[in-house]
Amino acid sequence: MEKEQKNNLQEKETLHPRNRHRLRYDFKQLINCCPELKKFVFVNKYNNETIDFAKPDGVKILNKALLKQFYGILNWDIPTNYLCPPIPGRADYIHYIADLLSSCNNGIIPKGKTIRCLDIGVGANCIYPIIGNYEYGWSFVGSDIDAIAIDCAKNIVELNSALKKIELRKQNSPSAIFKDIIKSDELFDVTICNPPFHSSLAEAQEGTMRKVKNLSSGKTKKPVLNFGGQHAELWCDGGEKQFVSKMITESSQAANYCFWFSSLISKSANLPSIYYELEKVNAVDVKTIEMKQGNKISRIVAWTFLSPSAQKNWQQKWLSNK
């Protein structure tokens, strides 16, 4: 009984109910999947196996093991200093998007390759397409302004036969988001995005220092991007608020090509201006979905320009493609 209670306490109840990462990492299983993880694992003062999350090499190998164990990805790697995102949080975004689609489909999550998702800023890691493809069979287009990231993501898709219907497209205009990525003859059921949320390199480094101090008991003095990240992945002029505002403006120009547009919003202080921008472009419906990973709270803001009748017509497409 005591053991059962301990296991229950280890469950991460704030994660989405369908998230595969609600329990503590089973490092024995992970090492079995990925033996190179073993050298990074140690027993902490609470007598639990863990890794030093302040060290990028260990974080990267942990991700490699998680993707192999839970999503059947046998070959995954990213270049040095590219973003290596925490997988549980990325999985939450996908599952909440599935709930969003089901809310317009009589509570049934639409699945299969006919459901098309556009990932803005897919990165070298290709995490969102991997999870969405595995969990729901969705097709993906991933876009990025970084040629190295696109090549790496393409390599991951090519090396893993389990991945189906994932296409990578380079955005050749750094100032554009949807332009030249959404083609005139295609439709998307949803777009997702994890925008760069810092407004400068200095701000990104300051945020990294805070995170690393928390992870390493304040012993680290030099900024180390434990989860990596290039300029475009971590910061842009105006930060998250300006990036999402631009995305909203562009989405209004592609209003009929997508059912739901969405973006992760890390800073609650940015919500009022984002809602204001959505009101300016006459979004028909706006939803805010809160997510919590441990003590961190973020949210998804999703919006559509489709009228209720157009939404019903779109739903018929899902039903006819069952």
Question: pLDDT tens, 305-315?
Answer: 999 999 999 99
Per the domain annotation, does 182 fall within a domain?
yes
Per the domain annotation, does 56 fall within a domain?
no
Per the domain annotation, does 69 fall within a domain?
no
Question: pLDDT tens, 69-109?
Answer: 999 999 999 999 898 999 999 999 999 999 999 999 999 99
Per the domain annotation, does 48 fall within a domain?
no
Segment (H or E) for 43 = strand 42-43
Per the domain annotation, does 43 fall within a domain?
no
Please tell me the distance from the alpha carbon of residue 167 to that of residue 133, in angstroms, as a whole number. Answer: 12
End-to-end CA distance of the chain, in Å?
45
Question: pLDDT tens, 14-44?
Answer: 999 999 999 999 999 999 999 999 999 999 9
CB atoms within 10 A of CB 45: 5
Whether residue 188 contacts residue 140, with contact meaning beta carbons closer than 8 Å, is answered with no
Residues in the chain: 322
The number of folded domains in the chain is 1
Instruction: Give the domain range for residue 298.
Output: 74-320
Residue 4: its pLDDT value, please? Answer: 40
Question: pLDDT tens, 166-180?
Answer: 999 999 998 899 999
Which residues does residue 42 pair with via DSSP β-bridges, in sequence order? 50
pTM of the model: 0.87
What is the percentage of the chain residues whose pLDDT exceeds 70? Answer: 83
Per the domain annotation, does 16 fall within a domain?
no
**At 113, which CATH number?**
3.40.50.150
What is the percentage of the chain residues whose pLDDT exceeds 90? Answer: 74
